[in-house]
């Protein structure tokens, strides 16, 4: 009988990245639970209507606010700085795991977008389990803070993440 070693296969690395991304998603959602408990948001997303001067870029289902609008999301500047740094380190962590899993630029990019997609979907799934939020896929959320707050319904990052996962798997098919 021939023993097969799966540890080097792209599919094994995808499985390991899935576990990493889901663990990271839980950690990120737990942090958000703590933040929402300690520092309730001053931005009522249910009635979100940004002032035109705070909008940097807008599409029907997506708004990118100017960096100075961060104070409407997180009024304490120290906390806002910490949150922006936390989000930047999240991307660094995803890049590092992709770098370790990939063997070329193409596979590293595929592993990054896969990890990002799994992390993002997992994040919302864990928020739902922990908080009962989002109440629907149409719930508005502040998606990201770099370079300024991104606001969109939850289904927007979910669809983008699903496309990222599918795209990554397509890129890795030949591996």
Question: What is the pTM for the complete model shown?
Answer: 0.87
**52 domain residue, yes or no:** yes
Query: For the residues of 56-80, what is the DSSP string, one character each?
Result: EEEETTEEEE-GGGHHHH--SHHHH
**40 domain residue, yes or no:** yes
**22 domain residue, yes or no:** yes
Please check whether residue 134 is in contact with residue 124, taking contact to mean a CB–CB distance below 8 angstroms.
yes
Look at the chain and report how many structural domains it folds into.
Answer: 1
Question: According to the model, what pLDDT value does residue 41 have?
Answer: 60
Residue 64 has pLDDT above 60, yes or no: yes
The predicted-structure confidence for 6-24, as pLDDT tens digits, reads as follows: 567 888 999 999 999 999 9
Mean pLDDT of the chain, nearest integer: 88
The predicted-structure confidence for 35-55, as pLDDT tens digits, reads as follows: 888 876 655 555 666 777 888
CA torsion, ordered 57, 58, 59, 60, to nearest 10 deg = 170
**5 domain residue, yes or no:** no
Domain holding 57, by residue range, is 10-172
Residue 160 has pLDDT above 80, yes or no: yes
**86 domain residue, yes or no:** yes
**153 domain residue, yes or no:** yes
The predicted-structure confidence for 112-155, as pLDDT tens digits, reads as follows: 999 999 999 999 999 999 999 999 999 989 899 898 889 999 99
């Amino acid at each position: 009988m021939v023993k097969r070693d799966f540890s080097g296969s792209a599919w094994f690395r995808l499985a390991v990245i899935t576990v990493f991304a889901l663990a990271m998603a839980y950690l990120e959602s737990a942090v958000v639970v703590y933040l929402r408990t300690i520092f309730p948001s001053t931005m009522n997303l249910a009635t979100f209507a940004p002032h035109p001067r705070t909008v940097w870029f807008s599409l029907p289902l997506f708004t990118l606010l100017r960096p100075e609008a961060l104070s409407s999301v997180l009024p304490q500047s120290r906390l806002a700085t910490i949150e922006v740094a936390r989000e930047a380190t999240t991307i660094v962590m995803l890049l590092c795991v992709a770098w370790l899993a990939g063997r070329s630029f193409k596979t590293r990019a595929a592993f990054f977008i896969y990890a990002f997609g799994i992390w993002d979907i997992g994040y919302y799934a864990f928020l739902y389990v922990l908080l009962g939020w989002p109440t629907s896929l149409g719930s508005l959320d502040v998606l990201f803070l770099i370079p300024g707050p991104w606001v969109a319904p939850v289904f927007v990052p979910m669809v983008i993440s699903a496309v990222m996962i599918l795209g990554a798997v397509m890129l890795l098919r030949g591996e």
